[in-house]
Amino acid sequence: MKAFLLLLLCALIAGAAPANAQSNVQREYVIVSGGPSLMKWEKWKIQPHDLWWLNFIRASRIRIQQLQAEGFDTAQITWFVYRPAYLSRGKQEGQDLIPTITSVRDAYGVNLRFFDRPDELIAYLNEGKPRDQVKIAGFEYFGHSNKACFLFDYSNVIDSGSKAWLHEDDLSKIRRGIFTRDAFAKSWGCHTAESMSQKFRAATGIKMWGAVGKSQYNTHELPSLASPHGRWKY
């Protein structure tokens, strides 16, 4: 009987170890904001993009507020902002836009990181923190996109195009195992669910919600679907 109880105790301890190990892992939430278009091209279009330069910043701030209200420690939220697009839009606006962005960081205590190249984002996801100790519990993108790319500088450097993007084929560079098992991922840009969501899941094992069709950015709420025929899916 003693031998049986000893074996049972060992089995219970062994079974509990993975759960305890998982509970000791810290959680990080990553939010990415792409950049706005320039009006020198957009103003001539029937449906111009980004009349308000704060589109993606405001949406990110609203999401940060939601996470805070849900009890997520904002010190564990890392917010990436594509800096070159805001520098060029700032010249158009005749003002420095960076202080407005950093004021969001100061108000909510998030870890703001500006990036200048798409590969900086991949590098951070993989190695920005020791991923055996700090797993990514959430990943969300606010910005321009098509079905195969996050377009960080759409219509900012060249008209109706982009020179800085994260392509769905680059998702294979993301290391497996950096996300928590229950991680939430969503792209709030246009068309992501038409292809990129599937590539994201294949690369990471995590579902990424995205739009079928176009999305639209709103002043006081998160982006919504632009068409009654659109839908969110992964």
Pick the CATH number of 26-233 from 3.30.470, 3.10.450, 3.40.50, 3.30.420: 3.40.50
In the prediction, which pLDDT does 23 show? 57
The token pair that represents 11 in the structure block: 């089995």
Question: What percent of the chain stands above pLDDT 90?
Answer: 88
Mean pLDDT of the chain: 91
Domain range list for the chain = 26-233
Residue 166 to residue 200: CA distance in whole angstroms:
11
Residue 224 CA: distances (Å) to CA of 109, 144, 197: 27, 14, 18
User: 166 with 121: CB under 8 angstroms?
Assistant: yes
Q: What is the mean pLDDT of residues 40-53?
A: 93
Residue 218 CA: distances (Å) to CA of 51, 140, 144, 224: 12, 17, 14, 8
207 pLDDT exceeds 90? yes
Q: What is the mean pLDDT of residues 44-48?
A: 91
